Amino acid sequence: MFPTRKCLLPICYLPSTNCMSLALVKLTITLSCLLDCLYLFDSRLDSLSTLIINVSYIFGPKISKDSQKKLLKLKCFSLSSPKLTVDYHDLIVALLCQMVNLEELKLYLLVQRFDATYIDGIQLYDHFLVYMTQLKKFTFNVKTNVSNIFLRVKLSSNEDIQHSFIGRGYQQVTSYIHNDSMKNKGKCLIYSVPYEFDYFFYLYNSFQGGIFHKVRYLTMDDTIPFEHKLFNVISEDFPYLELLHICNHYSPNTKEHSFALITFLYLTLLDLQDAHDDYAELFLLTKNAYLPRLLNLSMQYKSLTKITNNFTNNAMDFNCNGSYLIRHFQSQISSLFINMKGRMYRRDLFGHENIFIFSQICTEFKNLQYLNFSSSSDYEQLTFGRTPSIKFSSNLLQLHVVIKSIIDCLCLLEHFNQLRTFYVTICPLAVRVWPSKKLPNLKCFSLIHENELMMYNEIFVPLFQTMPNLEELSLYFFSSYGLIIDDDNLEKNILNHMIKLNKFTFNIRSFIPRNDLVNLPSNEDIKNTFKNFKNNEIISCVDYFSKSNLFYCHICSYPYTWTFYNNITNNFPGGLFKCVREISLCDERPFEHEIFPSNC
């Protein structure tokens, strides 16, 4: 949720002898868990007076009273977390009660409570503020989600919440409530004014307005539709907003937009992945919104097809001059992710609809450098073999795409001659073609070929030899014809032609008729071909299937980075496969209990 912050390794995993400055007086740090915060409060940081923590998760065992050491020198403390926690009392309150000499406190918390009331001014005071006798400034944003399952607790009204802050030394406080009396649950947000955080998570329709000049990142989430009028209010109240994420699956009730233009002058990222199609229309049509600095747009594929009016059988009039999307954003968007939902019906036999959208995106978005055109192979794949000649932009630097054949891969490489990184998944058709020119700009290439490959020497080898400056290569394929793919083969045909290669990961299976082999190699023979392999460790497995008269060889780099492991046999070599989520087993001999890998 903090888009510009990276989580560190948990501090509890660092050696206890790890050196920290004894003279450190101010520390700003991002942690993975609040429990790591406790490791900062030992004798090595006794001089610490200011501590600012951004933490991903707040969970863990209760802080016991015996371990609650008073932090007498700490004068300023800030704690922010974007995730819901159920450990408000056991961790947060217990920690804050140790900071008796605080002069400044800043809290951004999302709290989940069961069979309880909302956190209000009375509870904040009684839980920890009463012990902070020197506190001069308290800045906060506390959101409480309440679900009363076993007890029917009366939930406070907004007037009750406001009254709880009277007479206890608080500055101005804004609050709003959303109670669901039928389900005995609700949500409450309280925050100090003026608002001093650069993020505001989970804005609802009950938003009352205000001044939020410091906010750069806003998320909106509700089960009631967001209307045009609310976005007008937000554009005025959050004038410097840069990142906006909308989560709402319900269409706005007002279809005819007669309100003022929605204007976000500084918005660079708009995320509509979890939004109804109509929000794409609301934001991307110039008659509704003005977004002069938008650079990154994330949306569902079906939303894109709707706004372009391009996925009907009778009309595919996606006109670059008449398209609001292209005309308004073609010079601004540099990164675009198109998501196609997997396992949908393939409605276009030749993929012409996808090709049209793909080609229009590539040619009309002049400054586009990153394009991810779906990561699923369960939808319509791109193919260019049965369509008229298509012109593409040559400005793309990174491309992720799913295609039907190797000829489509060559077509893309030929047109996108500036590509540096190329991730391609092929759901293949058998073709025979030779690449004709070198690709000197390509630095990173990843290839997944899903079906069996019968023309490794005729197709793949010539293709790889056009990439002399490649620095990173990842291969997954299944060869069912020709020679066994081992290190000798890889070195001769591929690696020796890539003198700058510094990272090579592979997952290659060879399934060859035994009659085609003079000498049947053993697993040791295969391993010995990799004795000079420098990049990674390797795993190999060899099987002879007498009934089908086949020789099977599987080689892969280790550590294993794929999420699947196909065709495990009884000769499975074992290992640690933390990334694997899906496996398949195949053998002529029965599998015994011991073969099922507990480490997958």
pLDDT tens digits, one per residue of 81-111: 988 999 999 899 999 998 999 999 999 999 9
- The per-residue pLDDT for 50 is 93
- The per-residue pLDDT for 579 is 87
- The per-residue pLDDT for 463 is 86
Tokens of 496: 């020796």
Helices then strands, each counted (H, E), the chain: 13, 25
- The per-residue pLDDT for 347 is 42
Which distant-in-sequence residues (6+ apart) come within 8 Å of 597 by Cβ? 568, 572, 574, 577, 583
Contact 460, 484 (CB under 8 A): no
- The per-residue pLDDT for 244 is 96
Which distant-in-sequence residues (6+ apart) come within 8 Å of 541 by Cβ? 523, 552, 553, 554, 569, 571, 572, 573
- Return the closest-CA partner of residue 87 out of 98, 96, 78: 96
Residue spans of the domains in the chain: they are: 1-176+187-192, 198-323
Q: What is the CA radius of gyration of the chain?
A: 30
Helices assigned H by DSSP within 333-459: 352-364, 406-415
- The per-residue pLDDT for 343 is 42
- The per-residue pLDDT for 194 is 94
The amino acid occupying position 405 is S
DSSP code of residue 456: I
**pTM higher than the cut 0.75:** no
Contact 142, 96 (CB under 8 A): no
- Return the closest-CA partner of residue 199 out of 231, 228, 238, 163: 238
Strand partners, 203: 220
Dihedral angle at the C-alpha atoms of 22, 27, 29, 35, nearest 10 degrees? 60
User: pLDDT in tens for each of the 600 residues of the chain?
Assistant: 444 444 444 555 454 445 455 678 888 888 888 777 776 666 666 778 999 999 988 887 777 665 567 888 899 999 999 889 999 998 999 999 989 999 999 999 999 999 899 999 999 999 999 999 999 999 999 999 999 877 778 889 999 999 999 988 888 999 988 887 777 789 999 999 999 999 999 898 988 889 999 999 999 999 899 999 999 999 999 999 999 999 999 998 876 555 788 999 999 899 999 999 889 888 887 778 888 888 788 888 777 777 776 544 333 333 233 445 566 667 778 888 877 655 443 444 344 567 777 877 877 787 888 888 864 544 556 777 555 556 666 678 999 888 877 778 888 887 888 889 988 887 765 455 555 578 888 999 998 887 777 778 877 888 888 899 999 999 998 887 767 888 888 888 888 899 899 999 999 998 887 665 667 788 888 888 887 777 668 889 998 888 878 888 999 998 898 888 888 888 888 888 888 888 888 888 888 777 665 554
The amino acid occupying position 367 is N
Residues 242, 247, 253: CA angle, nearest 5 degrees:
110
Contact 467, 496 (CB under 8 A): no
**Cis ω on the peptide bond leading into residue 559 (within 30° of 0)?**
yes
pLDDT tens digits, one per residue of 346-371: 444 344 567 777 877 877 787 888 88
| Whole-number Å distance between alpha carbons of 306 and 298 | 15
Residues 105, 114, 207: CA angle, nearest 5 degrees:
60
